[in-house]
Homo-oligomer: A and B are copies of this chain.
Amino acid sequence: MNQPSPKIIERLFLYRRCLFMLKENEMNQIFSHELARLSGVSSAQLRRDLMVIGYSGSPTNGYNKLALLKALNNYLDANEKEGVALVGLGDVGRAILHYFQGRRPSLEISAVFDNDPQKIGRVFSGCKTYSVDQIKEIVQANNIHVGVIAVPEQAAQQVADELVDAGVRGILNYAPVRLDIPDGVYLENRDVLVSIEKIAYFARQV
C-alpha cells in the first residue's frame, strides 16, 4: 500500500492513546464500535484505518487490546529512541517542554535552543539549552530529524532554514507565519490565533 495519509496516521495515534487509557480494564477484548466511540470516529472508519497496520480482529470477540496495541506501536514508533529539537523557550516552548517530556518512551526533546543568554547553558526539564547559533552543530551531532518552532514570527523562517539545513525532516511550527520549506520536509502549522478565530466563526453560525 502507498504511504497512508496524515489523517489516517493521526487517527492511529489517537486509537493508540485511547487503548492505552483502557489498558487497566479487566476485559482484554474490545469491539470496533467501542474503540471508535472512545476515539470519536465511526466504526467503519476505525476498521478501515486498521487495515493499514495489518492487524486483524475476530468477528466473534473483536480486537485483542494488547495485540492491537502492539501492532500500533510496531507500526507507529521508530526502532530506536528519537530526538526532537525545540527552538524557543518562551511561554509556548516551555509549555511544550513541560507537557511533552517523559510522555513517550520512544521520543524525547533532546535539545532546546533560545537566544536569551540567561537561559543558554541551563537545563530545563532535563534538557540543555543552547544558543540558536548552534542549531546546525547540535542537531547534527545528536542526529535529530524533528524540529518544533516556538519562536516569534520574525525569527521563524530563519530558524526553519537552519533546521532544514541541519537535516531536520519534519517541522511543527507554532509561529504565526507561513514557512517556506523544501519538498520532502513535512510541515504542520499550529497557529493559535487562526484556531481561535476559526472556532469563533463556527460558534457564531446557527
Contacts and interface: CB of A to CB of B under 8 A. Distances in A.
A190 B198 CA distance: 13
Interface of A: 3, 6, 9-10, 13-14, 17-18, 38-40, 76, 78, 82, 84, 90-92, 94-96, 98-100, 103-104, 107, 145-146, 148, 168-172, 176, 178, 180, 186, 188, 190, 192-205
Contact of A200 (B82, B96, B99, B197): B82
Nearest to A98: B91
13 contacts: A17-B176, A17-B194, A40-B178, A76-B197, A90-B95, A91-B94, A91-B95, A94-B95, A145-B203, A148-B196, A148-B199, A170-B203, A188-B199
A24 to B, nearest CB: 15
A178 B18 contact: yes
Contact of A203 (B169, B201, B202): B169
